[in-house]
Chain A
Amino acid sequence: EPEVTQTPSHQVTQMGQEVILRCVPISNHLYFYWYRQILGQKVEFLVSFYNNEISEKSEIFDDQFSVERPDGSNFTLKIRSTKLEDSAMYFCASNRGDLLGWQYFGPGTRLTVT
């Protein structure tokens, strides 16, 4: 069964550094998402991406964040200048664009900002 993959599984970075989290969505899917989950808290929506542009974003997704689909397979989340509070699990998800909106989640990237 096709899967969403994410790399790296764990990223440690210093405050102020830029990080790029990578995702490979399922190949025939059309919608791509990033979510984050701060330890012990609920999963929060960051951004959705469709047809090579952001379709929706939350208030969390400020100017420090950006997303890109640089080629036909990867979907990346960049944090320009990380803060301690960016430490979280980041999940990528995709769906094929059907009405049921069944989102397939990747295994997540644990980001630790020190």
Chain B
Amino acid sequence: AQTVTQSQPEMSVQEAETVTLSCTYDTSESDYYLFWYKQPPSRQMILVIRQEAYKQQNATENRFSVNFQKAAKSFSLKISDSQLGDAAMYFCAYRSPLGTGNQFYFGTGTSLTVIP
């Protein structure tokens, strides 16, 4: 099974500053998909951004962008102009395109605190 590692259990950032959350993964597959999910205190899982492994261009969604390094198996999330509402647990996830299971493999999460 694939593994996803988030080495930063906690991070903090000043409001309006930029923060980067790291994620690495282990796989032998050449094609796959990567995701960042946000889990606020309500514990709902909210999709933040996704990246297809076959695309070299890094995905961007407003203030959120990723740095995808396929050779290094790294998929970091950058949050620019951090807002108080960004405070949450962030999970990196991997999905294989093979088979019909389509299950996700999640990392252990990074808890982000935004300091006013």
Other 5 A-B pairs with CB < 8 A, given A105-B44, A107-B42, A108-B44: A33-B104, A45-B104, A55-B101, A56-B102, A102-B47
The answer to whether A101 and B107 touch across the interface, beta carbons within 8 angstroms, is: no
Query: Which chain A positions have C-beta within 8 A of B50?
Result: 100, 102
Chain A 55-83 against B: per-residue CB contact (8 Å), 1 yes, 0 no?
11010000000000000000000000000
With A41-B108, A42-B106, A42-B109 given, is the CB distance from A99 to B100 under 8 Å? no
Contact B106 A43 (CB under 8 A): yes
- Chain A interface residue count, CB cutoff 8 Å, equals 29
List B contacts of A44 (CB < 8 A): 106
Q: Mark B23-46, 1 if CB is under 8 A from A, else 0.
A: 000000000010101000011111
Residue among B42, B46, B102 with the highest chain A CB neighbour number at 10 A: B102
Beyond A42-B107, A42-B108, whether A48 also contacts B47 by CB under 8 A is no
Q: From B43, B91, B95, give the contact of A101 (CB < 8 A).
A: B95
Q: Are A101 and B108 in contact (CB under 8 A)?
A: no
Q: Closest chain A residue to B102 by CB distance?
A: A101
Whether A56 contacts B44 in the complex (CB less than 8 A), given A100-B50, A101-B33, A102-B50, comes out as no
Q: How far is the CA of A23 from the CA of B20 in the complex (A)?
A: 34
| Distance of A103 from chain B, by nearest CB (Å) | 6
Q: B residues within 8 Å of A by Cβ?
A: 33, 35, 37, 42-47, 50, 52, 91, 93, 95, 97, 99-109
Chain A residues near B (Cβ < 8 Å) = 31, 33, 35, 37, 41-45, 48, 50, 55-56, 58, 89, 91, 93, 95, 99-108, 110
Partner of A45, one of B37, B46, B103: B103
List residues of chain B with CB within 8 A of the CB of A42: 91, 106-109
Q: Select one of B33, B45, B95 contacting A43, CB under 8 A.
A: B45
A95 touches B108 (CB 8 A): no
Say yes or no: A55 contacts B100, CB within 8 Å.
yes
**Interfacial chain A residues near B95, Cβ < 8 Å:** 101, 103
Q: Are B99 and A56 in contact (CB under 8 A)?
A: yes
**In the complex, are the beta carbons of A56 and B103 less than 8 A apart?**
yes
Please indicate the chain A residues that have their CB under 8 angstroms from the CB of B100 in the complex: 31, 48, 50, 55-56
